[in-house]
Amino acid sequence: MIEQNLILILVLLPFVGAIAASTISVNSRNAAAWLAALVMLGGLAALSALHAQVAEGRVPRAVINWIPALHLNLSLRVDGFAWMFVGLVLGIGLLVVIYARYYLSKTDPVPRFYAFLLAFTGSMIGLLVSGNIILLVVFWELTSLLSFLLIGYWYQNPAARDGARMALIVTALGGICLLAAMLMIGQIIGGYDLDLVLASGDLIRAHATYPVVLGLFLIGAFTKSAQFPFHFWLPGAMAAPTPVSAFLHSATMVKAGVFLLVRFSPALGGTGAWFFAVTGTGMATLVIGALIALFRHDLKGLLAYSTISHLGLITALAGIGSNGAIVAAIFHIANHAVFKASLFMAAGIIDHESGTRDMRRLSGLMRLMPYTGTLAIVASAAMAGVPLLNGFLSKEMFFAEAVEWHNGTWLDNALPYIALVASIFSVAYSLRFIMTVFFGPAPVDLPKTPHEPVPWMRRPVELLVLTCLVVGIVPGLSLGPLLNMAAQSVLGPETPWFSIAVWHGFNTPMIMSVLAMALGAALYFAFAMRISDGPEGPPLLHRLRAQKMFERSLLALSWKWPRVLHRLAGTERLQPQLRLIVLAAIAAGVATLWAGMRLAPQPQLTALDPAFAVMWAVGALCGMGAAWMAKYHRFAALVLLGGAGLITCLTFAWFSAPDLAVTQLLVEIATTVLLLLGLRWLPKRKEEIADDRLASARLRRLRDLAIALVMGLGMAGVAFVVMTRPTTSNIGDWFLRNAYHEGGGTNVVNVILVDFRAFDTLGEITVLAIVGLSVYALLRRFRPAPESAESPIQQATDAPRLKDAMFVPSVLMQWMFPVMIVLAAYFFFRGHDLPGGGFSAGVTLAIGLLVQYIATNVRWIEARLIVLPIRWMGAGLLIAGGTGMGAWLFGYPFLTANAQYITLPLIGPVPVATAMVFDLGVFALVVGATVLMLIAIAHQSLRIARIRAQDEPQPSEQAAE
Amino acid sequence: MPVPEHLIIAPILIPFVTGALMLLYHERQRRAKLGLGIASAVSLLIVAVELLNRAKGNDLAGGKDIGFYLLGDWAVPFGIALVLDRMSAMMLVLVALLAIPALIYSAAGWHKQGQHFHSLFQFLLMGLNGAFLTGDLFNLFVFFEVLLAASYGLLLHGTGQLRVRAGLHYIAINLTASLLFLIGVSLIYGVTGTLNMAHLAALIPKLPEADLPLLHAGAAVLGLAFLIKAGIWPLTFWLPTTYMAGAAPVAAMFAIMTKVGIYVIMRLALMLFGPDAGASAGFGSGVLIAGGMATVIYGALGVLASQGVGRMAAHLVLISSGTLLAVTGFALAGGSPEMLSGGLYYMVSSTLAVSALFLLIEPMSREEGGIAAMLALTADAWGLDEGDEDSQQEEGLAIPATMTILGLCFGACLLVLAGLPPLSGFIGKFAILSGALDTQVALPNALWGFMGLLLLSGFATLIGLIRIGIQTFWGVDVTVPRVLAVEIAPVIALVAMGMVMTVKAQDTMTYLNETAHALLGPVSYLEGMTAAPRVTQEPEVAP
C-alpha cells in the first residue's frame, strides 16, 4: 500500500507542484524556485524510500483504473532501470531548478517557467514508470507538448518560436508512429501491459507485421532522441533558456528515446533488422554529430551536436543488444547526463556573464573566471573520454563492444573503425571547446565583462563535476550497484554481475582510446585556425542544412501543396455544388437501379385521357418555360410558374383530391403574389450578359441541359414505375378505413393532418413560423438595390392616370375583404369533414389581407387595421401545442384527439373535435406567418420613401412587432 | 392502462413552448427572452440527463430500457412514435450541453444583432431534439425542416454581405437535399407502405427480390440527403463557408448540425441494412467508407491550407464528420462494436471541442472594441434605423489574465481535436483504433488506410492549429483584447465537459459500448416498437 502511494507521489507531485507554481504571482521568483526545489526533493525522498525493494529485485507497482474497457489504466511500476533513470531526472532536475533561479532575469515570468518545468518532469517520470504501453505513449506525448512550451518560453524571440514548433512537429510525428506501433504490439500479444510485452518478444518477432511495428517504433524513438535524419530539431531547441537545454539534453526528452530502445530491446531486439536499423542509425548519428559539432562556432551548438553524437553512441549500443552493450548503454546514459548537464550550465554561465556564445569571440576566460573554467574543462574532458572521468569508462565499454564479434555482418565488422573515427572528432571538439574559450589571449570587445557568477549558480556545476570524478575514479563503489540493478531489470534477474573497473589492462579498447586522443588532438591543432575561420558547419556539408530542408519541406507539405490540392478538390461556387448533388443523385439511381431494371414489373396501364394529356403538356411547357425565362424575364418566369402550379392543382382535382387542390390553389395564389411584390425590389436585370455568348458558356449550358434531361427523365421513370406497380398494403389504407370511426372526421386528409399525424403538422407550422421570422429578420435589414429605389417608370410618369385606372379594382378588392373572411370561416368549420381546414382558412384570410395591401397602400390600411402577425403566430403555436398537452390531463399521450357530438340549442347535434382547436392554432399561425412576410415586403416602400426624403415623419413600424 | 412516459416528449415541447412564448414578448425585451431561453436550455439538460439515466437501465434484452411514446395514442406503425434509447438520450444531452454555453455567450451582445434570435434558437433546439427522438421517417423530415429552417434564420442572424451570401448558398443546397429526402422517403413508402423505421426494418428482409432495386434507390437517395448534411466530400463545399459566416454562438451550435446527419445515417443504416437485412445487408458501406475517408483528406487539406482559425475550425468539422462516416461504414461492413463506440466517444468529444473553438475564434481574433465595434460597423453599413439596436459597448465583467485563459482554452481544444493525450480526443481516437484492430471486416486494406488517415489527420490538425496558436498567442505585437466573462465562461464550461469525459472515461465508454451494441443489434428497438402499448385498449386490426 505504502509503496503504491510512494509511486503515485513520484508521478503526481510534480504536476501538483506545476499547478501550484502557476498560481504564484509573477514577481515572486524565490517562492516559485523553493516550491520547485521542494517538489524535486520530495520526489527524491519518495524514490529513496522505494530503493530497498527495488534493490531486492522486486518491482513496486501502483494501479489506478482509468478506462478498463480499453485496457488503459494508470498502471505504474518502478524497476531498477526506471529507478535509476527517475533518480537522474529528479537529481538533475533539482540542480536545474537551483541554477535557473539565478539564470533567469527579473523580467521573465519565472513561476510559469517552473510550472512548465515541473509538469515536464512529471511527464518524464510518468514515461519512465509506465507499466502500460499506451500510458507510456500518453506521457511520451506530454513530454513533447511540454518541451514545446519550455523551448518557446522566450516566445518573443522568433528562433524560440520556430525551434519550439519544429521540436513539437518532429516529436509529435514520432509520437503518432509510436502510438501505432504500440497498438499493433497490443494487437499481437492481446494486451497493453508492459510486463506482458517484455515477456512476449518471440511472439512479436515472429509476427508477420513485425517489420512494420519495428519501423514505426523506431521512428518514434529516433525522433525523440534526435537520431539522424531527425536530428535537426535538437539544435533548433537551443533557443530555449539554458537551464531548459541542460535538462532536455541530459536526463530528459532525448533520453526518453534511448530509454525506450533499451527498455524494449528484449521485446523487439535481437533480430537482424533491429541490429541494422538501430546500430546503423546510431553509428551514423555518432559520426555525423561529432563531425558537425567540431565545426560549430556557437557554444551551445557544439554541445547540441555533441549530444546528438553521444545519443548515437547509446543507440548503437542498444542496437548491438548484448548484455555488455546494454550495461554500457545504461552506464553511458547516466554519465552523459551528468557531464552534459554540467557543460550546458557552464556554457550558460559563460553566456550569462560575457553576453556571447560565439567561440570566435570568446577567449582566455580562464583568467577571468578560473573556477568555472576548471569545472568546464573537467566536464569536457569527461565528454572527450579522458581517463579517471566517468565518460572514459562507458566509452571504453563501447569500444569493447564495438571490437567484439557479434554477427559478422559488414556493419559489425566496421564498428570499431567507425567508433574510432567518431571518437577522434569527439576529442577534437572537446579540445576546441577548452582551448578557444578558456585559453589564449584575453577577450576583447565582449558585450559584458566576464566575471565569476554568483556562487549558487556554480554549485550545481560543481556537484555534477564532482560526480564525474567520483564515478570515474571509484565506479564500482559509486554507480556500480545501481547500474547492475538497472541492467538486471532490463536483461532479466539471472544477468551476471558486472564489475566496473577503472583499469582493464592494456587491451584493444585502451589502444583505441589512446589513438583517438592522439589523433583528435592532432586534428584539432592542425586545423584550429581553419575551423574558426570557416563557416558554421563542416566544409561542403554546411550547405546541406537539415533544418532549412525541413522547413522548406514543411512549408511545401503543410501549406503550399495542401492549398493547391484543396483548391483543386473543392469549389466555393453554388452552381458546381448543385451540379454535383444532381450528379450524385443520378449516380445513386443508376447504381441501384441499372441491374434491377429487368425486375421491374409489367405496368398496369389504363387508357390515356386526351384532355388530361393536353393539360399535362401545358403544365410541362409552363414549367420548362419558367426555367427558360428565369434568367432574363423574371416576371414571365413567375407567371409561367403559376401556370405549372395551377396544372398541379387541376391534377389533384382530376384525381379526386379536392383538399389538396384547394390548398394548392390558395398557396399558389399567396406565393405568386408575394413573389410579385418581391420582384419590385430586385435589382434591374441585365439586358445582355456578354459571356453568355461564348462557346464555353454554350457548352456548359449544353452539358447542364444533358444532366437535367437525364435527371428529369430518370425521376419521371422512377415515379412511373412506383406508381404503376401493384399497390402494397400500406398505412394509407388504414387511414382511409379508420378516419371516421377512429378520428371522427370524414375528410381523411384533414384527419391525417390534425389527428393521425398531427405531430407532423405541429412541426410544419413551426417551420412556417420560423420561415416567417427569418424572412422578416432578413428584410428588416434589407436595402433594395439603388436602381430599384426609384419609382418605376409607369408610376413616375403616369401617376395620375394610374390612380384612376386602379380605382375600380381597388374598390372591388376592398369589398371582397368581408367575403374572404367569411370564406375563411367556412373553410375552417367544415374542415374536419369536407375539403378545407385550418391551413386553407388561414391562407384565405391572409390572401384577403394581402389584397387589401395591394388595393390601397400601407399607410391607409395600417391606419385602419393593425395586424400583429408575430402575436398571431405565437398564439397559434401555443394553441396548437396547448391542445396537444390537454390530452395529458386525461392520461393520454400528447396530441391525442377526442371527437364527440354535442347538442347545441337550435342547431342540434354538432360534431366537435379537439382537433378543431388544434386546427385553430394552425389557422392563426398561417395567418400570422403569411401576413408577417407580406408586411416585411410592404414596408420596403416605407423605407424607400424615407430614404428618398429623409425629413419625412417617422412611419409606424411598430405594427410589425 | 399503461401510463405514457410524458417526459420523453419534453425535449421537443420545452423549446417549442418557450420559442412560441417569446413571440409574445416585445423584441426589445431581450433580457427576458434570454432568461427564458436559458431556463429552457437548463431544464432541457435536466430532462435529458434524467432520460439518459432511464435509458441506462441494464436490461438490454427485454427492451425495457427503451422508451416509446405514441403520439396521439395511435398504434405503431400508423401513428408517429418517439423512441428514447441510449443513442437518442446521449444526443439530447449533447444538444443541451451545447445550448447553454451558446446562449450565455450570446448575452455578450450577439443576440442584439438581429430579430428573434432567441425564438429561432429555441426552434433549432426543438428540431434537433425531435430529429433525435423520432422513430418515423416522415416525422424525421419534418424535424429536419424545423432545424434547417431555424438554422437558415440563425445563420442570417446579423446579416452582412458574407452571411447573406453564405446563407443563400446554404439554403439552396439544403433545399435541394430536402427535395432528395422527400423523393427517397416516397420511394421507400412506395415499396414498403410504411414510414415507421422499425416496421421498415422488419419488412426489408421479407421483400421480394424484384422490389429491392427500388428500395435501394430510395435508400440511396435518402442517404444522399443525409450525406449532404453530414458534409461528405464532394458535397461538402458549402459547409466551411457557412460555418465561418455564422455568428459565434450560432456556429457553436452548428457544431452539432453535421452530427444530425451522421446520427441518422448511423441509426438508419445499421437498423435497415444490418446483418439481419438479408440481401440488403451492408448496403452502402463502401460509399460511406470511401466518402468518409475522402472527407477526412479534404478536411485535413483544408485545415493545412487555412489562414484563419475560423476556416480551420470549419474544416475540423469535416475531419470529424468524415471520420464518423467511415466508422459507420466499417460498422455496417461488420466492424466491431468497440470501434463504433470509440466513434461515438470521438463524436461527443470533437463536437464539444469544435463548439468551444467556434466560441473562441472571435475573442482570439478581436482587436480593440470587440463586438461593439462590429455592431457599429454593421449598423453603419446597413443603415439601421436610429435607436433600433443599442450598440453601446456591452457592460460586463472583463476577465483578467485574458491571454493566458484564452491560450489555455485554445490549447485544450487543440489537444482534443488533434487527438493528443491526455484529453478526450486521444481517448476517442485510441478507442477507434483499438476497436479497429479487433475488427475482421471485408475490407482490411481500407481499414488500415483509415487508421493511418485518422492518425495523420490528427497530425495535420496539430500543425495547422499550432501555426494559428503561435501567431495569436506568441505574436510580437499582440494587443490584449477586452474579453467579457460571459464570453469566456461558456468556453471554459465546454472544455471542462471534455475534461469530465476524460476523467470519467470508463463510465462514458461503458455507456457507449452498450449504445454501440444496441445500434448494431437493434432487437429490443424493433421488438419494443411493435409491442409499444397504447393507452386505449382496443383490439387493433392490422392492415
Nearest beta carbon to residue A766 from set B146, B186, B300: B146
pLDDT tens column, B11-60: 999 999 999 999 998 878 888 889 999 999 999 999 999 888 888 875 44
pLDDT tens column, B243-272: 888 888 899 999 899 999 999 999 999 988
Lowest pLDDT segment from A90-104, A133-147, A773-787, B273-287:
A773-787
Q: What is the pLDDT of residue A560?
A: 85
The H-assigned helical ranges of A556-694 are 561-569, 574-593, 610-629, 634-654, 658-679
Instruction: Tell me whether residues A558 and B234 touch, CB distance under 8 A.
Output: no
Q: What is the pLDDT of residue B64?
A: 56
Please list every residue in chain B whose beta carbon sits closer than 8 Å to the beta carbon of residue A762. 16
Under the banding of pLDDT at 50, 70 and 90, the label for residue A604 is: low
Distance from the Cα of B196 to chain A's closest Cα (Å) equals: 10
The answer to whether A172 and B459 are in contact (CB under 8 A) is: yes
Please give the torsion angle defined by the CA atoms of residues B246, B250, B251 and B253, in that order, rounded to the nearest 10 degrees. -160
Q: What is the mean pLDDT of chain A?
A: 86
Instruction: Tell me whether residues B298 and A566 touch, CB distance under 8 A.
Output: yes
Nearest beta carbon to residue B143 from set A763, A870, A894: A763
Please list every residue in chain B whose beta carbon sits closer than 8 Å to the beta carbon of residue A753. none
Nearest beta carbon to residue B78 from set A577, A756, A897: A756
B196 forms beta bridges with B136
The answer to whether B248 and B362 are in contact (CB under 8 A) is: yes
Q: B97 burial class (0-12, 13-18, 19+ CB within 10 angstroms)?
A: buried
The string of DSSP codes covering A513-552 is HHHHHHHHHHHHHHHHHHHHHS-SSSTTGGGS-HHHHHHH
Please list every residue in chain B whose beta carbon sits closer than 8 Å to the beta carbon of residue A576. 237
Instruction: Tell me whether residues A66 and B142 touch, CB distance under 8 A.
Output: no
Lowest pLDDT segment from A208-217, A619-628, B514-523:
B514-523
Most confident of the following: A335-339, A496-500, B532-536: A335-339
Tally of CA atoms within 13 A in the half-sphere of A592 that contains its CB: 29
DSSP state of A66: E
User: Which of A647, A559, A657 shows the shortest CA–CA distance to A611?
Assistant: A647
Question: Please, what's the b/e burial string for A657-676 (b: 16 or more CB within 10 A of its CB; e: otherwise)?
Answer: bebbbbbbbbbbbbbbbbbb
A899 forms beta bridges with A913
Number of H helices, E strands in chain A: 40, 4
Q: What is the pLDDT of residue B381?
A: 42
User: CA A778 to CA B116: how far, in whole Å?
Assistant: 11
Q: What is the pLDDT of residue B174?
A: 93
Q: Kindly state the helix (H) or strand (E) to which residue B81 belongs, with its residue range.
A: strand B81-84
User: Which of B223, B254, B263, B345 shows the shortest CA–CA distance to B92?
Assistant: B263
Instruction: Tell me whether residues B4 and A69 touch, CB distance under 8 A.
Output: no
Under the banding of pLDDT at 50, 70 and 90, the label for residue A600 is: low
User: CA B487 to CA B247: how far, in whole Å?
Assistant: 13
Please list every residue in chain B whose beta carbon sits closer than 8 Å to the beta carbon of residue A767. 142, 145-146, 149
The answer to whether A241 and A154 are in contact (CB under 8 A) is: yes
Distance from the Cα of A231 to chain B's closest Cα (Å) equals: 19
Cell of B159: 446579416
Distance from the Cα of A747 to chain B's closest Cα (Å) equals: 17
Lowest pLDDT segment from A798-812, B144-158, B463-477:
A798-812
Q: At what angle do helices A254-268 and A323-354 cross, to 10 degrees?
A: 170
pLDDT tens column, B301-330: 999 988 888 889 999 999 999 999 999 999
Q: What is the pLDDT of residue B244?
A: 87
The answer to whether A125 and A43 are in contact (CB under 8 A) is: yes
Instruction: Tell me whether residues B71 and A66 touch, CB distance under 8 A.
Output: no
Average pLDDT over residues A368-396: 88
Percent of chain B with pLDDT over 90: 44
The SS3 of residue B322 is: helix
Q: What is the pLDDT of residue A542?
A: 66
Please list every residue in chain B whose beta carbon sits closer than 8 Å to the beta carbon of residue A738. 78
User: CA A490 to CA B91: how far, in whole Å?
Assistant: 48
User: From the centroid of its chain, how far is CA A232?
Assistant: 26
Nearest beta carbon to residue B237 from set A571, A722, A727: A571
The SS3 of residue A65 is: strand
Average pLDDT over residues A493-509: 78
The answer to whether A850 and A823 are in contact (CB under 8 A) is: no
User: Which of B246, B134, B124, B169 shows the shortest CA–CA distance to A769?
Assistant: B124
User: CA A405 to CA A665: how far, in whole Å?
Assistant: 97
The H-assigned helical ranges of B474-504 are 485-503
Computed from CA positions of residues B60, B63, B64, B69, in that sequence, does the dihedral angle turn out positive or negative? positive
Interface probe for A, chosen from B237, B243, B438 (most Cβ of A below 10 Å), is B237
pLDDT tens column, A324-356: 889 899 999 999 999 999 999 999 998 888 888
Average pLDDT over residues A833-839: 80
Residue of higher predicted confidence among A603 and A304: A304
Average pLDDT over residues A399-408: 82
Nearest beta carbon to residue A731 from set B77, B462, B510: B77
Entry field: residues in chain B: 543
Under the banding of pLDDT at 50, 70 and 90, the label for residue A603 is: low
User: CA B179 to CA B214: how far, in whole Å?
Assistant: 18
How many other C-beta atoms can be found within 10 angstroms of the C-beta atom of residue A548? 11
pLDDT at A116 over 60: yes
Q: What is the pLDDT of residue B471?
A: 83
Domain ranges of chain B: 156-382+396-530
Residue of higher predicted confidence among A860 and A283: A283
Residue of higher predicted confidence among B378 and A328: A328
pLDDT at B167 over 50: yes
Q: Kindly state the helix (H) or strand (E) to which residue B68 belongs, with its residue range.
A: strand B67-70
pLDDT at A500 over 90: no
Residue of higher predicted confidence among A444 and A272: A272
The string of DSSP codes covering A317-355 is HHHH--HHHHHHHHHHHHHHHHHHHHHHHHHHHHHHHHS
Please list every residue in chain B whose beta carbon sits closer than 8 Å to the beta carbon of residue A183. 430, 433-434, 437
What count of CB pairs under 8 Å joins A to B?
Answer: 349
Nearest beta carbon to residue A771 from set B142, B149, B241: B149
The string of DSSP codes covering B444-463 is HHHHHHHHHHHHHHHHHHHH
Distance from the Cα of A110 to chain B's closest Cα (Å) equals: 15
Q: What is the DSSP pairing of strand A61-67 with strand A72-77?
A: antiparallel
Average pLDDT over residues A680-698: 78
pLDDT at A659 over 90: no
The SS3 of residue A606 is: coil
pTM, two decimals, is: 0.91
Q: Which residue of A has its CA nearest to B19?
A: A874
Cell of A768: 412556417
pLDDT at A366 over 90: no
pLDDT at A749 over 50: yes
Please list every residue in chain B whose beta carbon sits closer than 8 Å to the beta carbon of residue A881. 13, 16-17, 20
Instruction: Tell me whether residues A763 and B187 touch, CB distance under 8 A.
Output: no
Distance from the Cα of B5 to chain A's closest Cα (Å) equals: 8
Residue of higher predicted confidence among B145 and B278: B145
Under the banding of pLDDT at 50, 70 and 90, the label for residue A271 is: confident
pLDDT tens column, B410-445: 999 999 999 988 889 999 999 999 888 887 666 678
Amino acid in the structure at residue B52: L
DSSP state of A612: H
